[in-house]
Chain A
Amino acid sequence: MSTIGYFVEQYVVLAGALFTLGCIGFLVRRNVLVQLMSIELMLNAVNLMLVAFNRQHSADLNGQVFAFFIIAVAAAEVAVGLAIVLAFYRLKSSVQSDEADQLRH
């Protein structure tokens, strides 16, 4: 009786847990680097969900190609995001997100 890992719901639960962890990390941490990593966690969870549903509806490969595009966009996002972190550090000598208050004052 092999029950674990062969049902789509188990992947959905796992992806939900990973997404929740990423979202909590994004909300709770104030280090911009860790917040970017949390965004990566959420994107990975969504990728896992897309691939699991595509395995369920396996007539075509649209889900996997979607995950492929998400990976490409995530790579671009990280490159630009880390460049912004560097520019922010040059401005403030800090990577804490609550230091970014130029627009408030």
Chain B
Amino acid sequence: MTVGNVFFVVASLVALFGALMTIASRSPIRSAVGLLITIVGIAALFLMLNAQFLAAIQLIVYAGAVVVLFVFVIMLLGPDAGDGEGTVVRARVARYGAGAFFLLLAAATAHLVSYAGLTPTRFKVAPPGHGSVEGIGTLLFNHMVIPFELATALLIVAVVGAIAVARGKPHVRRESKSASPTARMFHGPLMARDAQRPLPTKAERAAKAAGGV
């Protein structure tokens, strides 16, 4: 066993453990941590595959941005981010059946491939500079300039779209039964003198809204 063997085994076990933790945890924050572990393991495997630049990008973009975004949203949602109690039994049967069916398909594929009699192909020696920042930059800015610029356009549009979708419209917000304690605290007249005045009826409010514009 060389250092490379140990590195591969440890990194792949870490990635698999993180993936299992992602899909099997009850609490979504643990799932996010599992995703982080998987990402770190895959970044280590990228290092072993002569992809130093991608390993850095993987850590910066996934571990630095994507997982943090997930954690932000989980924190924002609070206890509601967890699993609710399932009510429909048929839906649960369908979900687990679909999962088991896909697992069966994957196992059958692996079984068939293992009987194909292929000889394992060992990696050839990589040319010098394979996966370096210079190599990727040269390819990216010579042959793939247009996809690169399209990716930047996609990112800016995605940011604008995310803001537009997540902000919502404040006046559409319904008076839900599960208003937050802060909202309930400030419900009602702000000033003490307003408590004496009778509230306008619905017809009066409609007339004011119709005539006041």
Chain A positions near chain B (C-beta within 8 angstroms): 2-11, 13-14, 16-18, 20-25, 27-31, 33-34, 36-38, 40-41, 44, 47-48, 51-52, 54-56, 58-62, 64-65, 67-69, 71-80, 82-87, 89-90, 93-96, 98
**Majority DSSP secondary structure for residues of B touching A:** helix
Question: Which residue of chain B is the closest to A86 with respect to CB atoms?
Answer: B166
Which residue from A4, A18, A47 sits with its C-beta under 8 Å from B16?
A18
- Contact across chains for B81 and A95 when beta carbons are under 8 A apart: yes
Kindly list chain B residues whose C-beta atoms are within 8 Å of the C-beta of A25.
Answer: 19, 22-23
- Contact across chains for B54 and A51 when beta carbons are under 8 A apart: yes
Interface residues on B, range: 35 or more
Question: Which residue of chain B is the closest to A87 with respect to CB atoms?
Answer: B165
Kindly list chain A residues whose C-beta atoms are within 8 Å of the C-beta of B130.
Answer: 55, 58, 61
Chain B positions near chain A (C-beta within 8 angstroms): 1-2, 4-5, 7-9, 12, 15-16, 19-20, 22-23, 25, 28, 31-32, 34-35, 38-39, 42, 45-46, 48-51, 53-54, 57-58, 61-62, 65-66, 69-70, 73-74, 76-77, 80-84, 86, 88, 91, 95-96, 98-99, 102-103, 106, 109-110, 118, 120-124, 126-127, 130-131, 135-136, 139-140, 144, 147, 151, 154-155, 157-159, 161-163, 165-166, 168, 173, 176, 178
- Contact across chains for A76 and B31 when beta carbons are under 8 A apart: no
- Contact across chains for B131 and A31 when beta carbons are under 8 A apart: no
Question: Which residue of chain B is the closest to A72 with respect to CB atoms?
Answer: B151
- Contact across chains for A76 and B154 when beta carbons are under 8 A apart: yes
